[in-house]
Chains A and B, each alone.
Chain A
Amino acid sequence: MMGNRQDLFKQETVKASNVRATLARLGRYFAPYWYMVLLALAVIIASTWMNVTTPELTGQATDCFIVPLGGQTASFQPFGLTQSENSASASACWLGTTDPSSLTLTRQLIYKAHTWNDFPIPDASTMTNDSRIAGLFRLTMIMAALYVFGALLFGLTFLVMTWAAQHVIRQLRLQVFEKLHDLSLSYYSEHTAGDLMSRITNDTSALEQGTSFALVQFISGVIQLVWISYNMLTASLPFALLSLSVAPLMFVATAYFSAQARKAFRKSRKEIGNVNAELQESISSVREVQAFNRADENMEQFREVNAANRDANVRAVSFTSALAPVLEALSYVALAIVVGAGGWALLSGQTLFGATVTFGLVVTFLAYVQRFNQPIQQIAVLWTNIQNGIAGAERIFNILDENPAVQDKPTAQTMPPIKGLVEFTNASHSYEDGVPVLKEVSFTAQPGQTIAIVGPTGAGKTTIINLLPRFYDVTTGSVKIDGIDVRDVTMKSLREQIGIVLQDTFLFSQSVIENVLFGRPNATDDEVMSAIKLANADSFIERLPEKYQTVLGERGSGLSQGQRQLLSIARAALSDPKILILDEATSSVDTRTERLIQKAFDELLKGRTAFVIAHRLSTIRNADMILVLKDGQIIERGKHDELLAQQGFYYDLYMSQFKKQEEIAEAIIAN
């Protein structure tokens, strides 16, 4: 459906930086549907032809049957008198020609249609009223047929173009989606999910809008403009030039007002942005607003931005609402010029700068001018759509061209079943060139061992565990599992054997059970239940309205962060990994539950190599090895007791807590 003109000006016009390359590439997507595109083009041309031809039929109806004046064969029928001087046009009624081969192709076709089944050609000198009406009827039928076919063809074009465009868009969507999976995490640290989301959806819909209806309308509009101008110019050059004299004004007005409107709407977009920000802020902090009795001040503030938005819109609209009336007024002037100039020539019996004018020509031109004015307005609007579509396509291509930082080698093997020996050898990593987050880290985890990693934020704890499932690759050094470099195996076979529980758990808007099954879709019910029990998630799930079938909200909303963590522990337990990574897995679980989970972990970690990042000491105390990280380097390592004995960084951390407890005890005693 055509949008409102004003709304279209409201869109930001974004220009593609390389239109030609983008179009060429987009063209390649359309290539498999070339027959559809060709069909669409052919049909557009055909339907425009019909649209352009009908005014000529009206003209012929006038000159041949309704007012058969002014032809060389024409006579002033009512008086039975042959006309002499005023032989204005030599071929106003070309339907009456005796030499159809001299006509243009279009006219020949109409001529054939009109003389089909030996229908007599119009001859003003011999025609009776009845035969004139019969001729008129035949012409009307041809016209009706053209209208019907033209309309059907135009509809068909729309279907064909939509069909092709939708296939291309689906193709692009699938490619982008796959690309999103291929891109490594470094890409996601540079682009937030929200940004990517709005980019992808906006760009796709811009492309969608720019390729289907808008394109068809645009092309047919342009063809119609050109064709009508051509027809007018060839029918009568001077008359055409006069009739079209307001067209440049229309173009100028359209360009001027569109540009002004866009500028004004840019401002109004900013103002509505302020309104939204103000609303957002006070709705989301309504509790504070009420607590501090701020309603009146806020109201005053809101009134201000709200009024600014109102005024900016009114200003913007003063431009957009000017365009349509100006164009309409100009189109009336164009009509006036046609009847004025044509009328003057007919009245005075003179030629118009050397061109002869007939009633039919005036009627034809009236219809032409109407058909000429209407696409001008459309094209201005559609052009915006198409430009945005190309820009959207370009941005989609930019995503597709992104190179994933981590890729399978062509020679990558399948990772054999993991026993669990993990070796970091001088592993370094930097997210940005020259800013290493991990410096030459080396350690070995024996199968079945639990490795705890502690240290301040930014020390590189998460980086270490990100290297294992190849979320990132080492910059230098290597990470090996069972002696095999992780870069030599396929990511799929590697990751299948590694289970991860993250601090920021992500759940899908599916049922509880489906979320757990995500860990291993083909698990049996018993396996799922024991994973859930292991994570101590059963007690809260039983209290949910639909228990295991409860569908979670977006990103698992409806559950507390702690409950989400329990589910993600169950999910990881179900996947039965050989290597388990727990990154702050229980940070949001209350201490009582954590103690319960701790037991579960002891069970779960049995026989698996595990890497644990945790703030709470209890989890760490039993680790086979604690790695103390600072500034990307391992500064201490060993068991809890050994590290305490070293009296180093770990000792300080631990003792600070101890001291604190002592202080508290003192405080209690003092009371």
Chain B
Amino acid sequence: MQATLTQTRARRPRPSFKGIGRAIRYLTRYGRQAALPYLFLIIATLAQLAVPRMIRNVIDAVTSGFVANQILDALTTIPEQLVGAALPKILEAAGRPDSLTLDQLKVQLEADVSSAPQILINALIFIVIFAALRGVFSFLQAFWAEKNSQAVAYDIRNELYSKIQSLSFSYHDKNQTGQLMVRATDDVEKVRVFIGQGLLQLVGAIILLTGTVIILFSTNVTLAWTSMPILPIAFGLFVFFGIISQPLFAKVQEKLSALNTILQENLAGVKVIKAFTREREQQKKFHFAANDTMNQQIHVARLFTFLFPLIFMVANLGQAAILYVGGEQIITGLLTLGEWQEFSLYLIYLFFPIAQFGFIITQLGQASASAERIFEILDAKNDIVDRPNAVTLPDVTGTVKFENVTFRYFGGGDPVLKNVSFIANPGETIALLGATGSGKTTIINLLPRFYDPSEGKITIDNHDLRDVRLESLRSQIGIVLQETTLFSGSIRDNIAFGKPDATLDEIQSAAKAAAAHDFITSFPDGYNTHVGERGATLSGGQKQRLAIARAILLNPRILILDDSTSSVDLQTESHIQAALETLMQGRTSFVIAQRISTVVNADKIIVLDKGEIVAEGKHNDLMEDSAIYAEIYNSQILAHQTSEVFKTSEVSGEVTL
């Protein structure tokens, strides 16, 4: 038996990255396309890394050109005779080898001056090229990453959808629609965002960080060391921030949802609150919750107040350190102005990936939790699956046998069916009777193998249900459930629900047999009339007849009918009755009956009490023999019928006899 879906999303178990790793492996289905964003990312990052170097080239060219100009200017002002004496000093200051002659120096300086504009222009062109490369490739990277991540999300959603559809009833009994929805939407999106952005950011950040560190150290070791302390400090801050803030954010969510619960209850139950004049108490309760929420938010803000500036500060203090150490080196001639500016630009690259790590770690935590929740569904064991050697159920005649069937929900607790045995012969109508919880619904759920019996066996034409293929079994059983669910689509689609390739003729004759044709054709769009979600535009009786038509179209040998709700007027009632009679003719039918005629005309009535058959037989015999049957008959069937009287008049507004 599968476990119920993890209930509390707030509870954070130790993160395991198994789930997210498995989600990432979905990318491998896309082969080379999956590698594209990473390739683009590398190109874009390299282009980004090149820009500060180009800016340094410009500045250095300008500086040397400028300095050369200055020296050349100065040289002209120095009296000829003094030049010789000044030359070593000049050469030392200009950082040239002291073997140079004055003329050689002049040639070099002039070359510096004349080459500077060219270097400047080249570097500028390169900056623009690199900027363009950076722009184009980071766009391509983002685009392909999105494309791939959407493809993965598409695959995961399809798998989830298919899995959810195939999971047995016992799974759906335990897990609410809402929870499953959240997994197929929110959780898939979280995983997608991580695969599409987080993962790339992580790789990008690593490349950028490594590249920057290499460049920094190859440019100037002292200056590089100056900036290194930022790394552990900033990283530590982010980790600290992540550890501290996560539970605080979870707490904010908790307080907020407590607040919203009160709001929700007061909106939905406003009449009760007004009727009992409990406004004051509720307001007090809300006041507490609102204060709680506010205080928690302010608490979080306090954390931000210290941590955020701290992080910015570390980044900026790095700049200040570079200013000082770099400035000192320029003054002592160990560094050029361009290198210094280059450093200050690279420093941003150093800090940026670390900031990203912080966000990515948070994202990774969320995404791996989401991935685990997704795979929890995908890995859920399905109780009801075809056995490996399952055979196709041949066309049945309709002998249904229950042999000592016992059933417990969720494999434990008190049995809801105890040792139930009976035989339904081909064409017979079996009426199931009993109080709520007596096991009627369980019996009809066991037939199409929505569940398997815990003990005993069920056979159709002597085939154990567990030995045949599900599809071949279910395709021979028609079901009209208590609450008719219609699907958004046309009436035609809804009738053809079980047989999508049915012709219009087939559909129409099914509708006619179900007494639905007349009301369908009375709609302007006839069979193409669109029914909204859950068939909101149709009345209860109309929906029921569509459900009957749906079952008739399948022409099943075995029929299951749960007609315990029949909130329809008398005229419709007689229509439905006629339709049901047509439907049941010649088929083995199991009916949870509320209608007197069904019960009275049944070939066999099975009376259930607390999961056991307490009486079995025809109406007249049971009326005589079984006290329980007589009581149920009087209290349920007759009372039900009488209570319908007033409802009847309500619907039609007048009494129809």
Contacts and interface: CB of A to CB of B under 8 A. Distances in A.
B276 A518 contact: yes
Nearest to A176: B263
Interface stretch (A24-32, A178-186, A424-432, A639-647): A178-186
Given A65-B327, A299-B165, A667-B600, A86 B143 contact: no
Given A151-B309, A568-B272, 17 more contacts: A61-B327, A136-B323, A147-B312, A159-B305, A163-B301, A166-B301, A169-B294, A193-B270, A276-B181, A282-B164, A299-B162, A347-B65, A518-B272, A616-B642, A654-B645, A668-B620, A671-B620
A590 B166 contact: no
Contacts of B164: 282-283, 286
Contacts of A506: 268-269, 271-272
A144 interface: yes
B503 interface: no
Contacts of B278: 518
Nearest to B631: A592
B251 interface: no
B320 interface: yes
Interface in A558-586: 560, 568, 571, 575
A616 B135 contact: no
B93 A79 contact: yes
B485 A285 contact: yes
A17 interface: no
Contacts of A140: 320-321, 323-324, 327
B158 A657 contact: no
A591 B436 CA distance: 11
A496 B277 contact: yes
Interface residues of A, number: 165
Given A174-B286, A288-B481, A132 B657 contact: no
Given A83-B70, A136-B327, A302-B158, A197 B294 contact: no
Contacts, number: 458
A306 B477 contact: no
A148 interface: yes
B488 A668 contact: no
Given A132-B331, A197-B267, A506-B271, A62 B120 contact: no
B154 interface: yes
A176 to B, nearest CB: 9
A167 B137 CA distance: 46
B282 to A, nearest CB: 7
Contacts of A496: 277
B293 A170 contact: yes
Interface in B583-635: 596-597, 600-601, 619-620, 623, 635
Given A277-B488, A336-B131, A664-B641, A154 B308 contact: yes
A178 B284 CA distance: 10
Contacts of A457: 650-651
B264 A193 contact: yes
B233 interface: no
A292 interface: yes
A470 to B, nearest CB: 9
A313 interface: yes
Interface in B304-336: 304-306, 308-310, 312-313, 316-317, 319-321, 323-324, 327-328, 330-332
Interface string B90-112: 10011000000000000000000
B131 A456 contact: no
A298 interface: yes
A324 B120 CA distance: 27
Contacts of B474: 290-293
B357 interface: no
A98 interface: no
A555 interface: yes
Given A181-B270, A294-B498, A555-B268, A592 B635 contact: yes
A137 interface: yes
The 6 closest A-B pairs by CB, nearest first: A321-B142, A329-B135, A151-B309, A78-B93, A332-B131, A162-B301
B304 A76 contact: no
A158 B276 CA distance: 43
- Report which residue of A1, A76, A150, A153 has the largest number of chain B beta carbons within 10 angstroms of its beta carbon: A1
A290 B450 contact: yes
Interface stretch (B71-79, B418-426, B536-544): B71-79
B231 interface: no
A279 B185 contact: yes
A600 interface: no
Contact of B646 (A58, A201, A615, A661): A615
A344 B63 CA distance: 11
Given A294-B498, A653-B655, A328 B293 contact: no
Contacts of A147: 312-313, 316-317, 319-320
A545 to B, nearest CB: 12
Contacts of B169: 286-287, 290
Contacts of B450: 287, 290-291
B629 to A, nearest CB: 13
Given A180-B267, A285-B485, A293-B475, A314 B142 contact: no
